[in-house]
Amino acid sequence: MNDLPEDVTSYSKTPVFNEQNVPGTLLKDHKTKAGTWGVIHILEGALLYKTCSDDAAVTLRPNLPGIIPPKTPHSIEPLGPVRFFVEFFR
């Protein structure tokens, strides 16, 4: 999994989502804009984070956030009860 560059700054966060209210667009392939990084923060439970570029899948947990590089197609899948949010950096 990629590391977040040291020279980026947080500028936005989503609301906290759970397995029942996660937007459908996050469950399908989507990507961030050029120059925008994302970090999926898990508060409780687990999510499957899938990147389309290399068919990789990682189970994210509270101690393992997901780093989303700019313009990288990806999707998520709740693995049971979960609470999470996405923080955006540029």
3-state secondary structure of 33: coil
Nearest to 1 by CA among 90, 61, 82: 61
CA distances from 16 to 9, 28, 44, 57, 79 (A): 20, 18, 11, 22, 16
**Residue ranges of the alpha helices (H) in 1-90?**
24-27
pTM: 0.93
Class for the domain spanning 10-89? mainly beta
Per-residue pLDDT tens digits of the chain, which is 90 residues long = 679 999 999 999 999 999 999 999 999 999 999 999 999 999 999 999 999 877 789 999 999 999 999 999 999 999 999 999 999 999
